[in-house]
A and B are shown apart, each in its own frame.
Chain A
Amino acid sequence: MILSTPAQIRELLARVRTVAMVGASSNPLRPSYTVFSYLRTQTPYDVTPINPTLTGIDGIEAFPTIAAYAEQRGAPDVVDVFRKPSEVVGVVNDAIAAGAKAIWFQYGVINDEAIALADRAGLDVVVDRCMKVEHARFRGGLSMNGLNSGLITSRRR
Chain B
Amino acid sequence: MQHEHKFGFATRAIHAGTPPDPATGSRAAPIYQTAAYVFGSTEQAAELFALRSYGHIYSRISNPTVAAFEERMASLEGGLGAIAFSSGLAAQLCTVLSLAQAGDHLVCAQNVYGGTVTQLSVTVKRMGIETTFVSAENPDEARAAIRPETKFVFVETIGNPSGVVADLQAFARVAHEAGVPLVVDNTFATPYLCRPIELGADIVLHSATKFINGHGTAIGGVLVESGKFPWTNGRFPLLDTPSLGYHGKVFTETFGEYAFLMRTRAEVSRDVGAAMSPMDAWLMLLGLETLELRMDRHVRNARAVVAFLRDRPEVAWVRAPQMGSVFTFGLRGGREAGQRFIDALELWSHLANIGDAKSLVIHPASTTHSQLSDEELRLAGVAPESIRLSVGLEDVDDLLWDLDTGLRAVVSS
Contact = CB atoms under 8 A, between A and B. Distances in A.
Contacts of B43: 41
Interface stretch (B105-113, B159-167, B254-262, B352-360): B254-262
B248 A29 contact: yes
The prevalent SS among residues of A at the interface is loop
A130 to B, nearest CB: 6
B100 interface: no
Interface of A: 4-8, 28-31, 34, 37-38, 41-42, 107-108, 130, 133, 136, 140-157
A148 B72 CA distance: 8
Nearest to B68: A143
Contacts, number: 125
A6 B51 contact: no
Contacts of A145: 54, 62, 67, 81, 261-262, 265
The interface size bin for chain B is: 35 or more
Contacts of B255: 31
A37 B52 contact: yes
Nearest to B19: A153
Given A145-B67, A154-B27, 9 more contacts: A5-B4, A29-B242, A37-B52, A142-B81, A144-B55, A144-B56, A146-B67, A148-B71, A152-B7
A52 B44 CA distance: 29
15 contacts: A4-B1, A8-B2, A34-B52, A38-B47, A107-B256, A108-B256, A136-B54, A144-B56, A145-B54, A146-B69, A146-B81, A148-B80, A149-B71, A154-B15, A156-B25
Interface in B1-30: 1-2, 4, 7, 11-12, 15-17, 19-20, 22, 25, 27
A146 B12 contact: no
B53 A147 contact: no
Closest 6 CB pairs of A and B: A146-B70, A141-B54, A147-B81, A148-B74, A107-B256, A31-B254
